[in-house]
Amino acid sequence: MTFPNTSIIRKSTIFLAAAMLSFSAMAADFDQTQRLANQGDVDSQFNLGLMYSQGEGVRQDYSKARQWYEKAANQGSAEAQANLGYIYQYGEGVRQDYAKAREWYTKSANQGIAEAQFNLGVMYSQGEGVRQNRAIAKEWFGKACDNGDQGGCDNYRMLNQR
């Protein structure tokens, strides 16, 4: 006697086993990342911040994400600096603070991170926490464009047309 849905059951069992292995690997990865982050490894600190901000392998916790991003940012991680800028610009787990957002974005942007350059362009074009300044916005959008950010290119062109 054959059962018509055995292939579905097999596929479900395989999927469940793969998910369990993936979860186990994620837990081991988290433990390893946390150990290295506690030892001062800047990449692990950034990755731990990312895990907490996105809820990957851990419960999403913006406060812990910010703490780990700050550790990495204070060691010069441009990516962590950009993510801190975002956290403060949008108030994720902190009080919204445009001055801190601009400070972190600027540190990151000066290291060539296109997303930070773009976000500074947005802040200056919209007057978010700064005096609205189209010339400065255009400068940041241009830098973002030069670093491959299509939104930066689009906004740079738009500001040139006005």
Helix, strand, coil in percent for the chain, rounding step 5: 75, 0, 25
Confidence (pLDDT) at 57: 87
Confidence (pLDDT) at 28: 65
- Residue 46 in contact with residue 60, Cβ under 8 Å? no
Residues of the chain above pLDDT 90, percent: 79
23 vs 134, residue with greater confidence: 134
The answer on pLDDT for 132 being more than 60 is yes
pLDDT (tens digit per residue) in 71-115: 999 999 999 999 999 999 999 999 999 999 999 999 999 999 999
Residue 119 gets the label, from left (phi > 0), alpha (psi -120 to 50) or beta, of alpha
In three-state secondary structure terms, 56 is: coil
The answer on pLDDT for 117 being more than 60 is yes
The answer on pLDDT for 4 being more than 80 is no
The answer on pLDDT for 3 being more than 90 is no
Residue in the structure block whose two tokens are 């957002």? 101
The answer on pLDDT for 157 being more than 60 is yes
Domain at 11-96: CATH code: 1.25.40.10
Q: For residue 63, give the amino acid letter.
A: S
Tokens of 85: 């800028």
The answer on pLDDT for 39 being more than 70 is yes
Could you tell me which of 60, 45, 61, 122 has the C-alpha nearest to residue 89? Answer: 122
Tokens of 109: 């942007």
Burial class (CB in 10 A: 0-12, 13-18, 19+), 39: exposed
pLDDT (tens digit per residue) in 51-73: 999 998 899 999 999 999 999 99
Confidence (pLDDT) at 128: 95
pLDDT (tens digit per residue) in 139-152: 999 999 999 999 99
- Domains of the chain, residue spans: 11-96, 112-162
